[in-house]
Structure 1
Amino acid sequence: MAAESNFTIDELARAADTTVRSVRVYHERGLLPSPEVRGRIGYYGSDHLDRLQTISRLLGRGMKLNGIRELLEAWDRGDGLADVLGVPNQESAEPTASVDPQVEDIYPDLPEYAKHALATSDDPLEAYRLTNPRACDLATRLADSGLPAPDTFHLVERLRADCDRIADRYATELFYRLAGQTYEQSPRTPKDRAKLETDLAIARLIVTRAASELIDEAFARHFELPATPPRAAEAH
């Protein structure tokens, strides 16, 4: 790995556009080397970032974590491409699956990983699940209701984009008020840093719960059934 290691795990996750939990999972599964530990904090370098971005790209192409680990291990050993893939060395290769041009025309705003999922010949929903596991339950239920995969991914991605906009609009102020302001006024010692991480985790829990309840309340208003009118009195 690179000699310079300047990212904390939070900073690395943000730079790679992933989550801290994913970084830890990749480390536990052997896909990501250990950080450089200084004091009690692990620091990551540019090679870690490159590795994370490679993992994301491979997930976007429908590969599973075990397969990615084997591929990266072979690459780290310096195996040739034919050895990595386990096939005889040859010039020709299977053509890459392409997205239906009609899908491109109707949903040009779909992210690349969703387009790659649609291009898979086996199970688009499974390929999508690998890159968006938190939304898989909703996507599965939409697909089970008979919605085509392109429409399913488009609905889920619109919902995700709206959630991103909510976070972008409110996160800075909310997290600053609940956690960052206290840290800003502190001496910023390692103890203060540890307290900040705890305060941020608590703040995230508070905000997530509040947002969940508010969204549930909003949906309840839309799904509320009209009152059943009283039966007319029967004529005698």
Structure 2
Amino acid sequence: MSSLVHEDAADDGTSGGAGRYRREDLARAAGVKVRNLRYYQERGLLPPPRREGRIAWYSEDHLTRLRLISDLLGRGYTVNGIGELLHAWEAGGGLSQLLGMEREMTRDWVREEPVTMSLAELGELFGPAATAEDTRRAERLGYVRIEGDRVTHRSRRLLEATLTLVRQGVPLAEILDAGDFLQVQAGALADRFVGLFRRHVIGADGLGRLSATQLDHIGAAAAALRPVAREVVAAEFAKAMALRMEAEVAELLRSQQ
């Protein structure tokens, strides 16, 4: 859609090339504060960046390791405990397998193109169909991020789908209601898939006692799960929509008799 304003990678602060991040961009991608990133470096949890002149560049490996640290913190590990765990893995030569497994388990699930524009441009797209409260709710639901007078929608596809529905007369508030409901249902479905994966692929011992070979197996299994999960969800939703649309058409025909 030509009216959508897109900022490409050359303008987003990661212009050093694929997989290279400045400090602020790395922190944003990992969902942590910059001061926490510095603290992890000071404690030896995160290797130093590679420097080119005055610029410090972080890599995909830094991002993967930072996400692993955040995950372990969320599971109740202390910073000291994480440091000991990482050092133990490094000493045993298995850290690369651990990080590789983490990459395979978390990468490529979301393949969306964000769209950035001004708030005024967003208002022009939706016109009077959108209110300030709709925008605030979209932000609470995680669809948009507002920074000053700039707004970034996390998905071009979702934005265009929303515009299509609005132009067909569906109120934006009801679209957001549906999005809220869908997020809850998608979360429950993801929990079900992850539970199956945890029980039958990772096993009861968790990651602490797994060998490098087992970690490689888990990473490969996660890579195989991604397309399967997408296809299962798409197929089941398509089937459900077909059945309900057939019922809707039948009701419309009956109403014309």
Give the TM-score, by structure 2 length: 0.41
Max Rg structure:
1
Identify the structure with bigger relative contact order (alpha carbons < 8 Å, sequence gap 6+): 2
Give the TM-score, by structure 1 length: 0.44
